[in-house]
Amino acid sequence: MTEALLELARSVGREAAMYVNRVRPKGRVDVAATKSSPTDAVTEIDRACEELIRARIKAARPDDGFVGEEGDDVIGTSGVDWVVDPIDGTVNFIYGIPMYSVSIAARQDAEVVAGYVVNIASGAEWGAVRGGGSWRYDGDDRLLLSAPSVARLSHALVATGFNYVPEIRTKQAEAVARLLPHVRDIRRIGSAALDLCALAEGQYDAYVEEGLKEWDLAAGGLIASESGLLLSGLDGEPDERLVMVAHPSIAEEYFDLVRACGF
Ligand code: IPD
């Protein structure tokens, strides 16, 4: 069942990525509206991409629920819900920076059981099933991911992101400034889903972000945890308040440091 959910996520995600590549104009993409703040943009292509994903999933599994970034929630009756970000990294998409993704997760009885992320611009794809590992796709082959251990927290490369609301950003910037002297460096790429896949691949050592929505986290979070990384919130499960990710070799020390920095 979980594999079937993942295969559906992959076939719909690939179609969605092809659609976005086909319709994206050259240069900058027009902003259609803004959401939580004047810099939190959405384009007509985000909306159309989500419509495509909704339609394909509904056709295949009409009784499932759906939670998407750009539309109303659908309450299902099957116990399966889809959690979808049609374009994670919308600002990169608008500017033409090739780091934006489709993120599709399936939740069963409120637990994420399958996750799929595709970098729309490059075509790189990742997948995971709960208890079955995570991988990068090489065609239809699965290259299993095992996040590397970290010898010293002071050498950790840490990825992060910032909320769109100026008051929250001010607090995040202050917390990042306190963190920076204790780690190797900070990266801010602009797609949480791609950040979480990069962590699983060992391209970063740790991650912290406040204000992630469930569609930013669901698929990438499973890919990261199935690669052996630990995810935590401020006091328990990761959530919108705080998401921290690190390899078990530094996790306890890193999570304490993040809290001490005032995130
Ligand atoms: C955003 C990206 C970004 C993160 C923001 C998210 P969106 O998603 O994931 O990396 O820092 O918090 O909102 O708005 O481009 O779908």
Pair of tokens at residue 58: 């509904």
State the first-to-last Cα distance of the chain, in angstroms, to the nearest integer. 38
Q: Answer whether residue 42 shows pLDDT above 90.
A: no
pLDDT for residue 95: 96
Average model confidence (pLDDT) for the chain?
A: 96
CA of 88 to the centre of ligand 1 (A): 6
pLDDT confidence band for 81 (50 / 70 / 90): very high
Ligand 1 closest atom vs CA 162:
11
Nearest CA to ligand 1 atom 15: 89
pLDDT of residue 129: 98
Question: What share of the chain in percent tops pLDDT 70?
Answer: 100
The domain segmentation of the chain, as residue ranges, is 2-144, 153-260
Residues 256/179, Cβ–Cβ less than 8 Å: no
Tell me which of 191, 214, 217 to substitute to probe ligand 1's pocket, judged by most ligand atoms within 8 Å of the beta carbon. Answer: 191
Model confidence at 237, pLDDT cuts 50, 70, 90, reads very high
**Threshold 0.75, pTM exceeds:** yes
Report phi then psi at 198, rounded to 5: -65, -40
Q: Which atom of ligand 1 is nearest to the CA of 46?
A: 16
The predicted pLDDT at position 10 comes to 98
Q: How confident is the model at residue 228 (pLDDT cuts 50, 70, 90)?
A: very high
CATH of 153-260 among 3.20.20.150, 3.90.1510.10, 3.40.190.80, 3.40.630.180 = 3.40.190.80
Map residue 88 onto helix, strand or coil: strand
pLDDT for position 40 = 78
pLDDT tens, residue by residue, 93-139: 999 999 999 999 999 988 999 999 999 999 999 999 999 999 999 99
Residue of 40, 85, 88 to test ligand 1 pocket, by largest number of atoms within 8 Å of CB: 88
Strands, sheet with 206-209, edge to edge from the N-terminal-most edge strand: 185-187, 157-160, 206-209, 243-246, 230-232
Averaged pLDDT for residues 64-91? 96
The set of protein residues with a Cβ atom below 6 angstroms from ligand 1 is: 69, 85, 88-90, 161-163, 190-192, 209, 211-212, 216
Q: Do domains 2-144 and 153-260 have the same CATH topology?
A: no
Between residues 207 and 71, the one the model is more confident about: 207
pLDDT at residue number 8? 98
Mutate to test the pocket of ligand 1, among 34, 212, 217, 240 (most ligand atoms within 8 A of CB): 212
- Determine the distance separating the centroid of ligand 1 and the alpha carbon of 101, expressed in angstroms: 10
Look up the CATH number of domain 2-144: 3.30.540.10
